[in-house]
């Protein structure tokens, strides 16, 4: 029974700091997830809708991939398809070589973990920098992620501090905020000079060729904005047919992952930077990694591709909570990992993972798209038997057990014999036995087989069993037409096999929460994640507010986007501030990085989440809301939409147009943040520490935004 | 207990005792029979029944599970409800059984008809609206959600409703929906992980100082009982049927005699 999973599990079980971190993190995430769904109008309907989107996508995955490729090609994105890890690495290295890249900045990508890209880059003389705080810590420690969304949850504050002292700054303190500042400073330098950015993809929208990133720290934005070349790596499971579908999935992903309504940044990248835009990569590559995926299409394991990598199943799983991600010895741990790992790496490598589950079903309960993980664990166990991948002894024992079960006399006699033995065997002695008895006795007394079984007692009680069934009254049965339809339906369902869970698909449009006053709701939600919202009555109010805010960064210039709803440039210039305007000729990253405040307009705002939507374009650099420590958004009141879904038609209009579509749309919800060091929430990791908003009434708006 | 006739009550039910109850917890079977007979329902127990096939199905031996069930299908045919005092065996018969015969239209129909009649004990007791159990459970009762009843059959209400009729006081077990660590072969393949989960479960019960810890599945009981006695815990473990049948009635554990 000394399997490798057990060996790793046993060292995890005695690792006290790990146990504490695991319990704190998984418990916290699970609670926040439950709370986050309460803020939706109909959580189950929303999740069922999300599930439907995933199911439908994979029913016609070939069609959607074709659409995606066509959209990407129209945008000028280079598409590469890699059948395996080796070819994927070769492709990335070739791109790096072509551009003479020396350093690469990476934002979190599970696909790149899958192919061990960092080692390949290093071997080729290219230095990769992981920039997600948790991933960077792991890179410094030479470890692998242990959780889908919180890669370094297994590391304590003390361990991180020691690591920073050894590898980055010998004087590093013990405050998570201070450690984060060290990381910010070090990585900012790397962002500014890196020749290539590598990211993963959360959603790839087929109809527009938009690659979406869901992040909190802002590193995903920097990786896909500053380097000249952006390489995105993904498996085909990231495809989402439409923008509207994407927004629905976005409504469940952060809620399930970290319990946020939205993460700080939802970044939608549609092709390389346009000619009239001042920042963004000149060249975008999409690397589609197969890596053992396509062979599972049309099999019982296809449903595993529905996973949107939120990590909710890991937080809900009692086994994961007990042993942590590293015990699974795979990029993908926990319940979904116990399916994905053998799917991608084969049963010989990860075959024991499907057994390492008590089949309690908590994973499917927590999954935002109701992936039937328990069913697939069973299918995977079945595959092991069929392929003789499990132990010979196990197959032999179960066959023997089956034979006994089919002969009631043998079955009963077997237990009678066992009952005698069980009276003489105590747990202390049994603990030394090999096999299941010894394993049982490690922490439990042995169960006693009853001296007199239930059937024996029953026989004594009465002897009227033999012919009872034949005496059942014959009832003439009539089915109603409805019952007949129901029966037909049920029979057809059976043909599709076992399905866990009890959820109906919703009919009609999804219910939304009521937002009677969009501006007020926006202010409430914005303030919950960021700073107080200013709601002025007169232009002078705005002037005073802006100047006060700017005064906090007196020595620093102010970056100001064009076409603001109210002209703040003159006020600041009059007061002697140095103003950095958008450049017409490439990005002026160094100038913007020196600014204390970036002031932008706001194309739309979302009331239910307190989010600001910014489109890139001439005069609207991506970096203004990203590099300075403070971001101020001037929000025309009329631009506030009630719901995330209200953004669907607007995005369609903007991104589906042939001309002048923005290369980047950001949905910003609060400041740049991370809880990667000891679960402490830190603001201003890579992007702004503070975000302020002024809601500008229609009457005060001067120009056209 | 009232003996008046109830329209929604079948005259007769088939008792699927389950192999664990049969061989490890025969008292649970006695308690179930007591409950049903007191409600004026005749209990039929076909002795040829052995196991529902779940151990095989859950370990990837589908063909074995099917063979085992095939030999027992004729014992389960008929038109009376089939009562299982277990969420996992109930789930196996109700949800899995018909899927094992999808390639055989005759057997599939038979299996589907059987599956339709299967009902877990507490669900059945609520369905017949039994509220007077004629007993009281003194002290503090806490219910542990057995995973397959909770998520397999989607039931977390009926065990609690039933217990509320007999328990002097019932308190929610913290994390009652968290697996106890049994999981069939899981508990012997990964004993340390399983025992760590079991420890969490027992800690929860001790934290609220429960007198009785009630489970609805003999699988969980096997595991939890082993952990309780290893720890010499004062928590007393009961099957739902025993809790409902009540102290000193048939099926009540000898060692807990009040």
Q: What are phi and psi of A72, to 5 degrees?
A: -65, -40
Cβ density class B76-99: b for 16+ within 10 Å, e for less: bebebbbbbbbbbbbbbbbbbbbb
Here the CATH number for the domain that contains residue B27 is: 3.40.50
Residue B5 lies in a domain: no
**B16 and B102 in a common domain:** yes
Same-domain check for residues B148 and B72 = no
Of A322, A390, A461, the CB nearest to B196: A322
Q: Are residues B119 and B222 in the same domain?
A: no
- The residue extents of the domains of chain A are 4-294, 403-459, 518-700
On chain A, the residues whose CB falls within 8 A of the CB of B151 are 360-362, 364-365, 374, 500-501
Q: Per the CB < 8 Å rule, is B190 touching A378? A: no
Could you give the count of Cα atoms lying within 13 Å of B252 in the half-sphere of its Cβ?
16
CB pairs below 8 Å between A and B: how many? 237
Q: Are residue B112 and residue B161 in the same domain, yes or no?
A: no
pLDDT-above-70 percentage for chain A: 96
Rounded mean pLDDT, A454-479:
66
Quote the domain boundaries for residue B209: 132-256
Cβ-proximal residues to B231 (8 Å cutoff; 6+ apart), any chain: B202
Which pLDDT tens digit goes with each residue over A414-456? 999 988 888 888 777 888 888 888 999 988 999 889 999 999 9
pLDDT band at A476 (very low <50, low <70, confident <90, very high): low
pLDDT for B3 beyond 50 = no
Confidence grade of residue A259 (pLDDT, cut at 50, 70, 90): very high
Interface membership of B46 toward A (CB under 8 Å): yes
pLDDT band for position B135 (cuts 50, 70, 90): very high
Average pLDDT score over chain A:
92
Are B72 and B174 found together in one domain? no
Q: What is the pLDDT of residue A504?
A: 67
B67/A406 touch (CB, cutoff 8 Å), yes or no: yes
**A239-243, A331-335, A472-476, B107-111: the lowest-pLDDT one:** A472-476
pLDDT of amino acid A463: 62
pLDDT in tens, A90-129: 999 999 999 999 999 999 999 999 999 999 999 999 999 9
State the pLDDT at residue A583: 85
Q: Which residues in chain A touch residue B156, judged by CB atoms under 8 angstroms apart?
A: none
Q: What is the secondary structure of B169-210 as a DSSP string?
A: EE-PPTTTTS--S-TTTHHHHSHHHHHHHHHHHHHHHHHTT-
Confidence check on the interface: ipTM exceeds 0.90, yes or no: yes
Other beta carbons within 10 angstroms of residue A596's beta carbon come to 18
Asked if B245 and B85 touch (Cβ cutoff 8 Å), the reply is no
Q: Which of A16, A23, A360, A463 is the best residue to mutate to test the B interface, defined by the most B CB atoms within 10 Å of its own CB?
A: A360
| Mean predicted confidence (pLDDT) in A554-566 | 94
Among B125, B159, B174, give the residue marking a domain's end: B125
Instruction: Confirm if A284 and A2 have CB atoms less than 8 A apart.
Output: no
User: Which of A359, A425, A431 to mutate against chain B (most B CBs within 10 Å)?
Assistant: A359
In the structure, what pLDDT confidence band is assigned to residue B5 with cuts at 50, 70 and 90? low
Which residues does A470 contact at the CB level (< 8 Å), separation at least 6?
none
Please check whether the two domains, A4-294 and A518-700, share a CATH topology. Answer: yes
Q: Could you tell me if B16 lies within 8 Å of chain A, comparing CB atoms?
A: no
Nearest Cα of chain A lies from the Cα of B78 at a distance, in angstroms, of 7
Alpha carbon distances (Å) from A165 to A152, A161, A172, A449, B169: 17, 6, 6, 59, 56
Last residue of a domain, one of B107, B125, B143: B125
- B125, B154, B182 - which closes a domain: B125
Subunit contact B227:A443, Cβ cutoff 8 A: yes
Q: At what angle do helices A133-141 and A157-167 cross, to 10 degrees?
A: 60
Chain A neighbors of B60, CB-CB under 8 A: 378, 380-386, 390
Q: Which residues 134-193 of B are in CB contact (within 8 Å) with A?
A: 147-148, 150-152, 154, 177-179, 181-193
Q: Are B66 and B101 in contact (CB under 8 A)?
A: yes
Q: Is pTM, for the whole model, over 0.90?
A: yes
Average of pLDDT values for A549-576? 94
Interface test with A, best of B49, B104, B177, B192 (most A CBs within 10 A): B192
- pLDDT at A465 (0 to 100): 46
All residues of chain A having their beta carbon less than 8 Å from the beta carbon of residue B179 are 318, 358, 360, 362
- Indicate the pLDDT class of residue A147, thresholds 50, 70 and 90: confident
pLDDT of res. B178: 96
Q: What is the pLDDT of residue A23?
A: 87
Residue B2 lies in a domain: no
Helices (H) and strands (E) in chain B, counts: 14, 8
Structural domain includes residue B167:
yes
**Closest-approach residue (CA) in chain A for B75:** A469
pLDDT mean over A652-657: 93
Q: Do A444 and B195 touch (CB under 8 A)?
A: yes
Q: For residue B196, what is the nearest residue in chain A, using CA coordinates?
A: A322
Which letter does DSSP use for residue A475 in this model? -
Yes or no, beta carbons of A458 and B12 under 8 Å apart: no
pLDDT exceeds cutoff 80 at A186: yes
- Average pLDDT of B157-164? 98
Residue B95: inside a domain? yes
Residue B159 CA to chain centroid, in angstroms? 10
Please say if the pLDDT value at position A484 is more than 80: no
Q: Which residue of B has its CA nearest to A460?
A: B30
The closest CB to that of A494, out of B78, B79, B99, belongs to: B99
Q: How many angstroms away from the CA of A407 is the closest CA of chain B?
A: 8
Asked if B178 and A318 come within 8 Å (Cβ–Cβ), the reply is: yes
Nearest CA distance, B66 vs chain A (angstrom): 10
Match domain A518-700 to its CATH number in 3.40.50.10420, 2.40.128.20, 3.40.50.2300, 3.30.1330.10.
Answer: 3.40.50.10420
Write out the two tokens for B133. Answer: 């159990």
Residues B108 and B141 in one domain: no
Mind telling me how many Å the CA of B129 is from chain A's nearest CA? 24
Please tell me the total number of residues recorded for chain A in this structure. Answer: 705
Give the Cα separation of A637 and A533 in Å (integer).
12
Mutate: best of A318, A387, A423, A425, partner B, most B CBs <10 A = A318
Q: Indicate whether A703 pLDDT > 70.
A: no
User: In the structure, what pLDDT confidence band is assigned to residue A509 with cuts at 50, 70 and 90?
Assistant: confident
Same structural domain, B153 and B200: yes
Domain assignment of residue B252, yes or no: yes
DSSP annotation string for A241-273: S-HHHHHHHHHHHHHHHTS-SS-SEEEEE-SSP
Distance from CA of A345 to the nearest CA of B (A): 20
Residue A468: pLDDT over 70: no
Tens-place pLDDT, residues A41-91: 999 999 999 999 999 999 999 999 999 999 999 999 999 999 999 999 999
Residues A4-294, CATH architecture: 3-Layer(aba) Sandwich (3.40)
- Considering only residues A488 and B204, tell me which one the structure prediction assigns the higher pLDDT: B204
Residues B112 and B137 in one domain: no
Residues B172 and B205 in one domain: yes
**A471 pLDDT above the threshold of 70:** no
Q: How many structural domains are present in chain B?
A: 2
With an 8 Å Cβ cutoff, is B120 touching chain A?
A: no
Q: Tell me how far CA of residue B79 lies from CA of A473, B11, B43, B151, in angstroms.
A: 9, 11, 14, 27
pLDDT computed for residue A586 by the predictor: 82
Is A304's pLDDT higher than 60? yes
Q: Are both B250 and B141 inside the same structural domain?
A: yes
Cβ separation A455–B22 shorter than 8 A: yes
């Amino acid at each position: 029974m000394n399997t490798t999973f057990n060996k790793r599990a046993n060292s995890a079980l005695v690792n006290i700091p790990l146990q504490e971190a695991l319990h704190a993190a998984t418990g916290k995430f699970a609670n926040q997830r439950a709370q986050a769904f309460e803020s939706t109008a109909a959580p189950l309907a929303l999740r069922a809708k999300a599930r439907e989107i995933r199911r439908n996508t994979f029913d016609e995955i070939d069609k959607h991939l074709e659409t995606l490729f066509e959209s990407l090609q129209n945008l000028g994105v280079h598409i590469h398809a890699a059948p395996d890890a080796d070819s994927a690495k070769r492709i990335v290295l070739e791109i790096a070589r072509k551009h003479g890249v020396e350093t690469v900045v990476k934002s979190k990508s599970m696909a790149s973990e899958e192919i061990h890209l960092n080692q390949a880059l290093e071997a080729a003389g290219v230095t990769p920098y992981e920039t997600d705080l948790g991933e960077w810590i792991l890179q410094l420690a030479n470890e692998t992620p242990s959780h889908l969304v919180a890669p370094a949850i297994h590391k304590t504050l003390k361990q991180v501090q020691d690591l920073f002292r050894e590898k980055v700054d010998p004087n590093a303190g013990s405050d998570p905020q201070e450690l984060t500042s060290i990381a910010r400073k070090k990585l900012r330098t790397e962002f500014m000079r890196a020749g290539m950015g590598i990211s993963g993809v959360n959603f790839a929208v087929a109809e527009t060729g938009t690659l979406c990133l869901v992040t909190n720290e802002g590193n995903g934005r920097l990786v896909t904005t500053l380097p000249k070349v952006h390489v995105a790596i993904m498996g085909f499971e990231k495809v989402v047919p439409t923008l509207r579908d994407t927004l629905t999935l976005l409504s469940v992903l952060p809620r399930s992952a970290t319990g946020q309504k939205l993460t700080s940044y939802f970044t939608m990248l549609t092709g390389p930077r346009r000619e009239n835009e001042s920042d963004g990569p000149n060249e975008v590559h999409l690397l589609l990694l197969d890596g053992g995926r396509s062979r599972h299409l049309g099999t019982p394991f296809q449903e595993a591709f529905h996973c949107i990598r939120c990590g909710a199943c890991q937080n809900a799983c009692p086994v994961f909570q007990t042993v942590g991600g590293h015990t699974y010895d795979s990029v993908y741990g926990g319940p979904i990992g116990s399916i994905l790992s053998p799917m991608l790496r084969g049963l010989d490598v990860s075959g024991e993972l499907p057994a390492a589950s008590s089949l309690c079903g908590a994973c499917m309960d927590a999954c935002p798209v109701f992936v039937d993980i328990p069913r697939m664990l069973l299918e995977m166990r079945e595959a092991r038997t069929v392929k003789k991948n499990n132990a010979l002894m196990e197959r032999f024992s179960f066959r023997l057990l089956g034979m006994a079960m089919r002969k009631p006399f043998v079955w009963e006699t077997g237990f009678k014999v066992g009952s005698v033995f069980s009276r003489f065997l105590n747990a202390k002695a049994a603990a030394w036995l090999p096999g299941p008895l010894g394993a049982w006795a490690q922490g439990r007394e042995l169960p006693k087989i009853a001296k007199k079984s239930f059937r024996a007692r029953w026989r004594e009680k009465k002897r009227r069993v033999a012919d009872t069934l034949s005496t059942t009254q014959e009832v003439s049965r009539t089915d109603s037409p409805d019952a007949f339809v129901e029966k037909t339906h049920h029979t057809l369902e059976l043909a599709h096999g076992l399905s866990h869970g009890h959820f109906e698909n919703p009919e009609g449009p999804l219910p939304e929460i009521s937002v009677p006053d969009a501006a007020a709701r926006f202010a409430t939600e914005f303030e919950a994640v960021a700073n107080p919202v200013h709601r002025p009555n007169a232009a002078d109010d705005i002037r005073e507010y802006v100047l006060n805010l700017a005064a906090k960064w007196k020595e620093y210039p102010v970056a100001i986007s064009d076409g603001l709803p109210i002209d703040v440039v003159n006020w600041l210039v009059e007061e002697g501030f140095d103003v950095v305007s958008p450049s017409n000729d490439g990005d002026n990253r160094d100038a913007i990085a020196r600014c204390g405040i970036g002031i932008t307009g706001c194309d739309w705002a979302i009331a239910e989440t307190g989010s600001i939507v910014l489109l890139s374009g001439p005069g609207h650099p991506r970096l203004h809301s990203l590099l300075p420590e403070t971001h101020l958004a001037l929000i025309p009141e009329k631009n506030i939409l009630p719901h995330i879904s209200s953004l669907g038609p607007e995005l369609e209009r903007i991104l589906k147009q042939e001309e002048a579509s923005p290369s980047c749309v950001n949905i910003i919800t609060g400041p740049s943040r991370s809880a990667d060091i000891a679960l402490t929430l830190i603001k201003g990791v890579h992007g702004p520490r503070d975000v302020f908003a002024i809601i500008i009434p229609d009457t005060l708006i001067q120009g056209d935004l | 207990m009232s003996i008046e006739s109830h329209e929604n009550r079948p005259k007769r039910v088939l008792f699927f005792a389950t192999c664990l109850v049969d061989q490890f917890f025969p008292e649970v079977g006695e308690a179930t029979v007591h409950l049903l007979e007191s409600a004026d329902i005749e209990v039929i127990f076909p002795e040829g029944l052995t196991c529902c096939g779940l151990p095989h199905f859950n370990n990837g031996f589908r063909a074995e599970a099917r063979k085992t069930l095939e030999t027992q299908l004729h014992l389960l045919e008929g038109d009376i409800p089939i009562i299982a005092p277990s969420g996992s065996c109930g789930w196996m018969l109700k949800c899995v059984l018909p899927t094992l015969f999808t390639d055989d239209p005759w057997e599939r129909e038979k299996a589907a008809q059987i599956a339709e009649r299967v009902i877990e004990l507490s669900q059945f007791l609520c369905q017949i609206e039994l509220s007077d159990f004629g007993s009281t459970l003194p002290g503090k009762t806490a219910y542990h959600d057995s995973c397959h009843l909770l998520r397999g059959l989607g039931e977390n209400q009926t065990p609690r409703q039933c217990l509320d009729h007999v328990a002097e006081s019932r308190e929610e077990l913290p994390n009652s929906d968290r697996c106890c660590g049994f999981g069939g072969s899981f508990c012997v393949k990964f004993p340390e992980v399983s025992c760590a989960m079991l420890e969490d479960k027992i800690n929860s019960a001790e934290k609220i100082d429960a007198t009785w810890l009630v489970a609805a599945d003999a699988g969980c009981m096997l595991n939890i009982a082993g952990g309780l006695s290893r720890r010499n815990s004062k928590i007393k473990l009961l099957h739902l049927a025993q809790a409902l049948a009540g102290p000193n009635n048939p099926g009540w554990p000898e060692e807990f005699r009040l």
